[in-house]
Amino acid sequence: MNELSEKYWVAVKYLFIPYLALLFILVFPLDFLLYSPGGLTEVDKLIEIEYREDKQVEGTISTTFVMSVPRPTIFQFLVGYFNEYADINVLPVSYEDYTNEEIAQISYQDKDISVSASIIVAYETMQAIDPAITVSYEEKTIVFGKSNYLSNYDQIHFGDAFIQMVGEGGVIATSIAEVGAITVDGNTYDFTFERENGDIYTVPITKNSETGLFGMNFKVYREVDPATSYPIFSERNTNVGGSSGGLLQTLAIYNMLSETDITHGLKIAGTGTIDYAGNVGNIGAVKQKVLTAYENKVDVFFMSPDDYNTAVNVCEAYGIDHSAWLVSVATFQEALDHLESLGDA
């Protein structure tokens, strides 16, 4: 080996190989889900309602978000592993077949559904006090999950609304519940969907002969119609997804409609889903959300009864006094009642 060749291999050994190793650590993904504390987002910066605009609001109502990293790189995994405030879990089975981009799409779809539920609950609750307030909505059945054997996988998007399917003998099904009775395993049928932008398309989909399924999961939700609801509302784009902001969104929207300020000058936050009956549901990443709220000096932090005990354990583990600010509520009305009691104090 001549001198030039020796210098070349020395360069490879001491420069190129370490560079490749570093690159591998920085970009190679692992099948885990990493959670770390995030921050607070004031709801009135995300949702705007043209009503009682002269009302003075002294406090704030915020949702709590965490940093969620599906399939962290080796570097991100190591950072999270040595961070006492982070948690690392095995990637959920429901995410295994999805890309990170698809996981984000599902999360944003969850957020849209959550906002609609918050608007419906807040508007309907306030309507009993102020009859001028109205809310109208349309029930939609949307694609909320896809299996890897789904025909024309890429053409069907998360959030596309099911319109109809033509079954055996030309029989038309206009609801997903009707599909099974008029289809045969292994056969192909024409499904019609509507995209979020209003475009309608028809695509052939085969009923899998092994599973007896078409490879799609659906969710029924109520999409609010801003044009026939009053007062008018609008939602700003955000990179925060998920349904865990439901309760706090509902409280903030209610406060926008109310004559009085339900915040009483307090910094209010929390986490929890909301359903159409106003029930509060449990969420994930309780530890990170509680720590986020504590670091942001929240006065009142609402959460579901199912998550409350976990939150108390987190506070005790980190030496945090939870008695003054951590509040368990099972319904939206319970949260309103608690805030009203603070105003009387």
**Contact (Cβ atoms closer than 8 angstroms) between residue 154 and residue 191:** no
**CA terminus-to-terminus distance, the chain:** 87
Domains by residue range for the chain, with CATH:
34-132+232-344 (3.30.230), 141-220 (2.30.42)
Which residues have C-beta within 8 Å of that of residue 160, sequence separation ≥ 6? 142, 143, 193, 194, 195, 196
pLDDT in tens, 12-63: 566 667 777 777 788 889 999 999 999 999 998 888 998 887 888 999 999 9
Other C-beta atoms within 10 Å of 194: how many? 16
Secondary structure E strands in the chain = 32-42, 47-49, 60-70, 87-90, 137-146, 161-166, 172-173, 188-194, 200-206, 216-224, 233-235, 267-270, 273-274, 280-281, 300-303, 326-328
Average pLDDT estimate for 180-193: 94
Pairing of β 267-270 and β 300-303: parallel
Over pLDDT 90: what percentage of the chain? Answer: 74
Question: Does 302 score more than 80 pLDDT?
Answer: yes
pLDDT in tens, 112-127: 999 999 999 999 999 9
Other C-beta atoms within 10 Å of 69: how many? 19
Question: Does 280 score more than 90 pLDDT?
Answer: yes
Least confident interval from 94-103, 121-130, 311-320, 336-345: 336-345
Average pLDDT estimate for 212-227: 92
Between 23 and 295, residue with greater pLDDT: 295
Question: Does 8 score more than 60 pLDDT?
Answer: no
Question: Does 7 score more than 60 pLDDT?
Answer: no
